[in-house]
Structure 1
């Protein structure tokens, strides 16, 4: 959105919104690490100059692990912050200075910001250089797939169907996917 390419930004946002629907039950807090995949896809698309769905499908698959990576990073940071939590409990039992809670929160927020953005930046750079390398080896790879945005959105909306958490709905979904796959493989479509 910051680059002014609103159409591509909205296409990417719609894809990930539909895809993550399964993982976010209605009415709950949306964890920030899920947006890391979206922001990574936006960054890669901007810096690589990719705009077509056939190019973006590779970026989507490469960016999805960023959400998992963000969740793991957040868990590690929380484990490390237990020391500060214990320090805060000790302060609550015996308040020595009013500045201690402020220092704890400021250090924690600063550390989280630096670590999260640093790891995100490094991870996105790794993906960027990987795409550059692969595009150099196989220049037509990212343009050979005949796919459109509605195809990607339909594939991503499977997350919404899975969010129903009903066994019968998942059985119908699996059966439908299997039947379509059989028809596609046999050449009927």
Structure 2
């Protein structure tokens, strides 16, 4: 039920990215807090949300630019971290691995959404014809169709992605424990995790420098 609830929330919040409102509810720090709260670990959700927010501080859907799907990426990273197969796995290792597999999915889904926007351009002729005929209700119908498609895409994309990744992790669980039990790998994951906020802060500082 939790995964289904998160999928519904991902679907609704993804609409805020471009389709409706753009109130910034789709930012990683907000998505992370909500998903973490639902899964009973608000702190971890907020922590991952802050890291991804710093990573993508300059990624804003303005004009024709379509950013990576930060909603699905953030929700996947947090859910995988908290649902990671196996016990006694260091949190830093879980977060690093979850981010490694979640970020590419956000980039992949970006390409699908760009393709969907290109396909939507075919509605321009239909809109022009409906306006010439005085059928302004057709505009409202297209808006609802577009919003509904965005919701269903994000809803299904999250469920499918989570199931595929979780099944993959479960199938290679014994190999993962080989790395987890290796002190060198555990130390490396911990140090890499500690560096993530610093990388994000450099992005933030760089954005201020370029604005000047």
Aligned to 2:100: 61
Select which of 139, 143, 149 maps to 1:105. 143
Distance 1:79 1:160, change over 3 A: same
| Counterpart mapping for 1:20-39 below 5 A | 20-21=56-57, 23-24=58-59, 33-39=69-75
C-alpha contact 1:41 1:59 (8 A) present in aligned 2:
yes
C-alpha contact 1:45 1:51 (8 A) present in aligned 2:
no
Instruction: Please state how far the C-alpha of 1:5 moved relative to its aligned partner.
Output: 0.5
1:75 pairs with 2:114: yes
1:86 pairs with 2:125: yes
| Counterpart mapping for 1:102-141 below 5 A | 102-141=140-179
C-alpha contact 1:41 1:63 (8 A) present in aligned 2:
yes
C-alpha contact 2:78 2:98 (8 A) present in aligned 1:
no
Which protein has the larger Cα radius of gyration, Structure 1 or Structure 2?
1
C-alpha contact 2:70 2:106 (8 A) present in aligned 1:
yes
Aligned to 1:52: 91
Aligned to 1:9: 45
What residue ranges of structure 2 are gaps of 5+ in the alignment?
1-36
Report which stretch shifted further, 45-54 or 71-80. 45-54
Query: 1:76 and 1:39 mapped to 2: Cα distance?
Result: 23
What residue ranges of structure 1 are gaps of 5+ in the alignment?
167-189
C-alpha contact 1:15 1:156 (8 A) present in aligned 2:
yes
C-alpha contact 2:84 2:94 (8 A) present in aligned 1:
no
Distance 1:47 1:138, change over 3 A: closer
Aligned to 1:175: none
Q: For CA contacts below 8 A with separation 6 or more, give which structure has more relative contact order.
A: 1
Query: 2:44 and 2:124 mapped to 1: Cα distance?
Result: 42
C-alpha contact 2:55 2:203 (8 A) present in aligned 1:
yes
Q: Indicate the RMSD between aligned Cα atoms, in angstroms.
A: 2.8
Select which of 152, 169, 174 maps to 2:196. 152
TM-score normalized by the length of structure 2: 0.65
Query: 1:92 and 1:32 mapped to 2: Cα distance?
Result: 34
Query: 1:165 and 1:130 mapped to 2: Cα distance?
Result: 42
Distance 1:142 1:83, change over 3 A: farther
1:43 pairs with 2:79: yes
1:75-113 Cα distance to aligned partner (Å, 9 max, x none)? 111112122232112211222x34322221222221222
TM-score normalized by the length of structure 1: 0.72
